[in-house]
Amino acid sequence: MKSKRIEQEFNLIRMLVAVAISLALAFCLIVCASSTPLEALSAFLIGPLQTVRRMGNVVEMMIPLLFTGVSVSIMYSCNQINMSSEGAFFLGGVGCAYLATTVSLPAGLHPAVCILAAGLIGALVCAIPALLYIKFRALPVVSSLMVNYVALYLGLFVINYIIRDPAAGYLCSFEYLDSAVLPHLFSKTKIHLGLVIAVIVVILSYLFLYRSKAGYAIRMVGMNSNFAKYSGISVMGTILGCQLIGGFIAGVGGAVEQLGMYNRFQYQSLSNHGFDGIMIAILARYNPKFVPIAALFLAYIRVGADVMARTSDVPVEIVNIIQAVVIMFVAAERFLEGWKHRRIVAASQSASRKEA
């Protein structure tokens, strides 16, 4: 059991080293790029903590990331590299915008209907790559990216031709009806009821994936699909099911973001929340339990980069660079592996010495 503990410890350390390397690289870039490096750095690091509003921004930014992070965690747990949570998040938001602008329902019911409908749309979007894989063995990586573009243009069509507000002067929908909007929780920030929904989703997903039979089947398919098959698990059914669930959560996230943060649909392109979700899921090792920590990290550096971009001359795109470097080092199996092996050898040697 000792080596298993080393393994866990090692995973944590490797994750931290990956984050540290990416941040170090970001610091180097900031120092190179900025004419006032110290101010830029301090804005980046402690900017988000300086005012209540910015702390609120971190939490607001975290909410959609919780949804997409959990969504990707579930989908990737059965080893499907399906990137269509991006499209599911977007199209879910569009579907929600349609219902929030055109249908009038009582206040409590309206957001619930919008969110559920968005979830169903998201589930459909994410099911396409899974179906193409099951029926035609199409690579989910490629097909899901194509699905994203199709979802984008379909969504823009709905906004542009069906619910566009001609008086607004730019491409956006009519304003959401008051009955649909999610209430804010605290007075000084825009933190909204979506936070509660997100926390519930995170907890339920953890219980589902790690404490239920279906969740076990999903992880089994992900770890060894042949073994799963021989134990009587329907591999294809499990894959489809978990893409549907993942897509549902991503779609719900899109709706919650719309109803909580915006008063009308304003995206002109994909919002990147789905891709952020991939990074978060990787950092969380596909375990919903750790998604909040990873989402907090990303939201924090994003708000920090935002503050930095406003107060100095370093563009916010530095966050994408940090994200990419984190993903690469976490995905690299051999990274620091020698160190782990030495630890395991040392531990087993000391154990055998004790026995002797």
Partner 1 sequence: MEALKSILSAQYLFSIIRVTTPLLFASMAAVVIRRAGIICIAFEGMMLFAAFGGVLGSALTQSVFGGVACGVLFGLLVAMIYAYFVLSLKANTYLTGLAINMLGSGGTIFLLYLATGDKGVSTALNSLSVPSINIPLIKDIPILGDVLSGHNVLTYVAFASVLAVYILINKTVLGLRIRSVGENPDAAASVGIRVIRTRFVAILIGGVLASLGGIYMSMGYLPFFTRDMIAGRGFIGIAAQNLGGAMPVPTMLAALAFGAAEAASNILQALRLPAEFMQMIPYAATLIGLMLVGRPDTEKKPRTTRKNRRESTHE
Residues that bind partner 1 (CB under 8 A): 29, 33, 76-77, 79, 81, 83, 128, 132, 135-139, 141-143, 145-147, 149-150, 153-154, 156-157, 160-161, 219, 222-225, 275, 278, 282, 286, 315, 317-321, 323-325, 327-328, 331-335
Burial class (CB in 10 A: 0-12, 13-18, 19+), 270: middle
> CB 233 → partner 1: shortest distance, Å?
15
The torsion angles phi and psi of 51, rounded to 5 degrees, stand at -130, 160
Burial class (CB in 10 A: 0-12, 13-18, 19+), 157: exposed
> CB 278 → partner 1: shortest distance, Å?
6
Q: Closest CB to partner 1 among 54 and 302? A: 302
Q: From CA 169, how far away is CA 291, in angstroms rounded?
A: 39
Q: Which residue in 92, 66, 70 sits closest to 267, CA to CA? A: 92
The torsion angles phi and psi of 164, rounded to 5 degrees, stand at -70, 140
Q: From CA 208, how far away is CA 216, in angstroms rounded?
A: 9
Q: Closest CB to partner 1 among 256 and 297? A: 297
Would you say 68 and 130 are in contact if contact means Cβ atoms under 8 Å apart? no
Tell me, what amino acid is at 31? V
> CB 287 → partner 1: shortest distance, Å?
11
Q: Residue-wise over 117-149: b if at least 16 C-beta within 10 A, else e?
A: bbbbbbbbbbbbbbbbbbeeebebeebbbebbe
* 184 DSSP 8-state letter: B
26 C-beta neighbours (distance < 10 Å), count: 21
Q: Closest CB to partner 1 among 4 and 135? A: 135
> CB 121 → partner 1: shortest distance, Å?
17
> CB 353 → partner 1: shortest distance, Å?
31
Q: Closest CB to partner 1 among 14 and 192? A: 14
Q: Closest CB to partner 1 among 20 and 324? A: 324
> CB 107 → partner 1: shortest distance, Å?
33
Q: Closest CB to partner 1 among 249 and 318? A: 318
> CB 201 → partner 1: shortest distance, Å?
22
Q: Closest CB to partner 1 among 5 and 188? A: 5
* 164 DSSP 8-state letter: B
